[in-house]
Structure 1
Amino acid sequence: MKFPMIAAGLAMASMASAETPELIVYTYDSFVSEWGPGPAVEKAFEAQCECDLKLVGVGDGAAMLARVRLEGARTEADVVLGLDTNLTAAATETGLFANHGMDDVAFDLPVEWSDPMFLPYDWGYFAFVHDTTKTPDVPQNFKALADSDLQIVIQDPRSSTPGLGLLMWVKAAYGDEAPVIWEGLADNIVTVTKGWSEAYGMFLEGEADMVLSYTTSPAYHLIAEEDATKAAVAFDEGNYLQVEVAAKVAHTEESDLADEFLTFMVSDTFQSIIPTTNWMYPAVTPETGLPSGFETLANPSSALLFPAGDAMAVRDAALDEWLNALSQ
């Protein structure tokens, strides 16, 4: 008589599983890594929502948008997390995202925020990171970097948000002179990786003197590894600001659950996870403040940023300049 009981138990378990709502969030690979925010975010949200949160790593931010655009209304994603202001205008044009309806969030950002569709969850400045024990004297601007013999690793702007951020950074700082800067930097570039993780790994393995990353990246080494040898450079021209955002997919069948996740994303629980897992500044400062060590980070003299609408227009010209310089 055990077999019918077993069958009944399996059927009940299957029904329970079917009744558990599932929320699929597309994000970038480092977010879902074991050292990224993903595991802690998943545990905390599932305790609240009584749902199954599936965080799906789909490359870097630009690659993520390309995938959602390709999948269209058939996408499995309910929420996309990991775009930034260089991509939001292009994302809006797809018609695949819905308004978040959250107008009362007290964001702590270097810029005013009023986008009705994309909700910030963290921010930081792009910067070149170096090892102070191996490369103590580093250039303080792009022209000096181009004139140096230092080797750098950057990311591909067609697949990576930092890579695209670098293009916008050079364009914002130098305008029509940007092609000259890229021509000078071409022989400094060791390689161009698809995403951030590969580039930073090469730097840590000693394959380059500097890597395109963030002013907050040294906080990881300082706090997690007790290693104070990594530093980011605040450039004379200013550093380009990145605000990372998430949005609900318009065609989701889990609209209420997606809304609940976005609300959770700007809560103290989620925001307190960000500094020491994603190693960025939280979009809403947690009640406990920032972890000790963040006060030591490089502080750019000015924040460079193209408005979202302008960024889309600038992107194509900046990409052509970059490709032309690197193909010489």
Structure 2
Amino acid sequence: MKTQSLSLGLASVGAMICATTAIAQTPTLNVLTYDSFTSEWGPGPAIETAFEAECACDLVFTGAGDGAALLARLQLEGTRTDADIVLGLDTNLTAAARETGLFAPHGVDADLTLPVAWDDDTFLPFDWGYLAFVANKDTVPVTSFADLAASDLSVVIEDPRSSTPGLGLLMWVHAVHGDDAGQIWTDLADNIVTVTPGWTEAYNLFLEGEADAVLSYTTSPAYHLIAEDDDTKTSWAFDAGNYLQVEVAAKVANTDQSDLADQFMAFIATPAFQGVIPETNWMYPATDAPLPEGFDTLTVPAKGLLLSSEDAATLRDGLVETWRTALSQ
């Protein structure tokens, strides 16, 4: 009995050692992204499952607030960051992100279908969309910032210091009104119910009836239509155009999982990743992945506005200060 017990004990120890070794040999890829991407209803879970099926690795998404908060975190952590991939910056932040020196070329030859030309070898687009105010269809629409300011409509917007949609709104107002942007913000101040740190908080306030409209995307009504069979939401196209957002991913240069990071960057451009985007991130895919039924009913602005990443970086601090001053009066 003692011999049998010893054999069983040795076998158990051996099994534990093998299991521990297997776990230790499974590489981990850390992807830093925004919170909604990692949520149970976001793209993260499906992408994790699909990539792990082919990488023999552990893909770990870490949420860090909204998109603009990613850059602030990276600037704080520098080369100490645990991230191997950063996913969720946009063109308003890529010039500043490039200046950190933290990123390496992605090496992906992707067949992109963006509404703008793309030749950046460091930041790889994974989706895009038009910023817009989303409202119920029975709300009388407006087609300009001036009309919105002159109306009695209430809106919720996101903070440009932490949120990429919020920063995009500043660029949008500037692209349309230039040096008169400060006056537009002063005029809009009494329409703004509150400013939230990120998109999720703002959109939930709108859904709870706290405002007539919310800064979001022309694609947002697709969620209600497809996931909830609710066709009561719409978005407003502005006469001067709606601002484009192109979201990107990038490889961290000092990653200790370089090959795995390269594999993930290439995976972004595949149907397994792109096909998940429309019905989880509720944006347009960066490639020609098919769109689900219902996307053909969405508002399509007559014109897309987009400042260069360099111009956005130059203007950012000044526009934030103009916005902050106007809303604090």
TM interval, short-chain normalised: over 0.9
Instruction: Tell me the amino acid that sits aligned with residue 51 of structure 1.
Output: C
- TM-score using structure 2 length: 0.97
Instruction: Tell me the amino acid that sits aligned with residue 121 of structure 1.
Output: F
Matched, 1:174 2:180: no
Aligned to 1:121: 126
- Correspondences of 1:28-177 after superposition (within 5 Å): 28-102=34-108, 104-133=109-138, 135=139, 137-177=140-180
For residues 154 and 51 of structure 1, the distance between their equivalents in structure 2, rounded to whole angstroms, comes to 39
Aligned to 1:290: 291
Structure 1: which 5+ runs fail to align?
A: none
Instruction: Tell me the amino acid that sits aligned with residue 188 of structure 1.
Output: N
Aligned to 1:318: 319
Listed one character per residue, the Cα deviations across residues 78-111 of structure 1 (whole Å, up to 9, x for unaligned) are 0000000000000000000111122x32110000
More deviation, 159-168/60-69: 60-69
Residue 205 of structure 1 and its aligned partner are, at CA, apart by: 0.5
- TM-score using structure 1 length: 0.97
For 1:211, what is the secondary structure of its paired residue?
strand
Aligned to 1:250: 253
Aligned to 1:234: 237
Which structure has the greater CA radius of gyration? 2
Listed one character per residue, the Cα deviations across residues 265-300 of structure 1 (whole Å, up to 9, x for unaligned) are 0101110100000000000011xx211111111111
For residues 173 and 120 of structure 1, the distance between their equivalents in structure 2, rounded to whole angstroms, comes to 25
Could you tell me the percent identity over the aligned residues?
63
How big is the alpha-carbon RMSD for the aligned residues of Structure 1 and Structure 2? Answer: 0.8
Residue 314 of structure 1 and its aligned partner are, at CA, apart by: 1.2
Structure 2: which 5+ runs fail to align?
A: none
For residues 214 and 13 of structure 2, the distance between their equivalents in structure 1, rounded to whole angstroms, comes to 57
- Correspondences of 1:253-292 after superposition (within 5 Å): 253-286=256-289, 289-292=290-293
For residues 258 and 70 of structure 1, the distance between their equivalents in structure 2, rounded to whole angstroms, comes to 22
Matched, 1:193 2:199: no
For residues 321 and 301 of structure 1, the distance between their equivalents in structure 2, rounded to whole angstroms, comes to 28
State the number of aligned residues.
Answer: 323
Residue 31 of structure 1 and its aligned partner are, at CA, apart by: 0.4
Instruction: Tell me the amino acid that sits aligned with residue 31 of structure 1.
Output: F
For 1:273, what is the secondary structure of its paired residue?
coil
Instruction: Tell me the amino acid that sits aligned with residue 303 of structure 2.
Output: S
Residue 38 of structure 1 and its aligned partner are, at CA, apart by: 0.4
For residues 15 and 156 of structure 2, the distance between their equivalents in structure 1, rounded to whole angstroms, comes to 55
